[in-house]
Amino acid sequence: MLNRRNFLTAAVGVAAATGLAACAKDDGSTSASSGGGAEAITLGFSQVGSESGWRSANTDSVKSAAKEAGFSLKFSDAQQKQENQISAIRNYIAQKVDVIAFSPVVVTGWDAVLKEAKAAKIPVVLTDRSVETSDESLYATLVGSDFTDEGRRAARILEKVLAKAGHKGAVKIAQLEGTTGAAPAIERAKGFKEVMDAEHKADWKIVISQTGDFTRAGGKQVMAAFLQSNPDINVLFAHNDDMAIGAIQSIEAAGKKPGKDILIVSIDGVKDGFVAMSEGKINAIVECNPLLGPQLMEVVKKVKDGETVERWIKTKEGDFMQDQAKDALPTRKY
């Protein structure tokens, strides 16, 4: 998806955060002096929501980085609804902000509002998630992670988890997908399946797969249904830590031991995920770093000045297994 532009890897340290929960609606603007008498850049930012620890950390990173950069930030929380995001973007256009940035709820359905922003000569920066559009010139760039690679890494680390557990025989996988139509859900599933189909067709099988909307409550509810329909599941691949944590509650309620009876691999690397891993309930986590704020502000400055910017894609971040959890946890930023 969106493979016609060059990739530029952003050098970002291994870090994750729980952060502050995003507001349930537009919280107005915050600003700070940019120093030297220069006029502050006004940035309109529309966030997906506050569905997970990762998302809350990402929101906190954007807000703190905007303050540090001296930007006037207009922030809105879409509550995981595309129509809310489109409304927020149109509001930013009406307010004549300098730059619009947003993390798209889903991949499709953005052409009309992006054309409105282009007509108003307001550059748009995608952050965290990509979109599918008929015209890639409708947005300036993307600052985010390689979700397909995260899916591949999840499959690779599952190989190690299975070997460590001494697992023999069929691998019956339940997959907790992210929000339907969202880039990370599509691409993480794709990357995982690539490795599975190429190297484990004979012994790995995804026996059931359904969205848990990246939420803890969704993971709990869907996993309970999984266990009723497929009680012989022995692996769970969750597209994020929050769904895995919710699923753990259902696994325990069913009288099974998470991390033993059902091996669990997830993606993100938030604090609660590491706590669960240190308790032996999650076997491995593939990191997706939420701290995109500083890179976003750097890109916003460049597009405001009319510079052409390549996509900033963070790759090859950390992967963690149970025996690393106690050592890794104190070194990470929460």
What is the full DSSP assignment across 127-173? EES----S-GGGS-EEEEE-HHHHHHHHHHHHHHHHHHHT--S-EEE
Q: How many angstroms separate the CA atoms of 169 and 203, rounded?
A: 7
Contact 318, 14 (CB under 8 A): yes
CB atoms within 10 A of CB 39: 9
- Ramachandran angles phi, psi of 235, nearest 5°: -140, 140
The pLDDT tens digits along the chain (334 residues) read 333 232 222 323 333 333 322 333 455 555 443 344 457 999 999 999 999 999 999 999 999 999 999 999 999 999 999 999 999 999 999 999 999 999 999 999 999 999 999 999 999 999 999 999 999 999 999 999 999 999 999 999 999 999 999 999 999 999 999 999 999 999 999 999 999 999 999 999 999 999 999 999 999 999 999 999 999 999 999 999 999 999 999 999 999 999 999 999 999 999 999 999 999 999 999 999 999 999 999 999 999 999 888 777 776 677 888 776 555 554 444 3
Q: Which long-range contacts (CB under 8 A, 24 or more apart) does 220-223 make?
A: 220/246, 220/247, 220/249, 220/250, 221/246, 221/250, 222/176, 222/247, 223/174, 223/176, 223/247, 223/250, 223/251
Global confidence as pTM: 0.85
Q: Which residue has the tokens 């557990």?
A: 165
Q: What is the arrangement of strands in the sheet containing 171-177, beginning at the earlier edge strand?
A: 204-211, 171-177, 235-238, 263-268, 284-287, 319-321
Cβ neighbours of residue 138 under 8 Å, at least 6 residues apart? 110, 111, 114, 115, 117, 118, 124
H or E element that contains 84 = helix 82-94
Exposure b/e, 92-128, CB count within 10 A at least 16 = b: bbeeebbbbbbbbbbbebbeebbebbbeeebbbbbbb
- Ramachandran angles phi, psi of 37, nearest 5°: 80, 0
Q: How many angstroms separate the CA atoms of 112 and 115, rounded?
A: 5
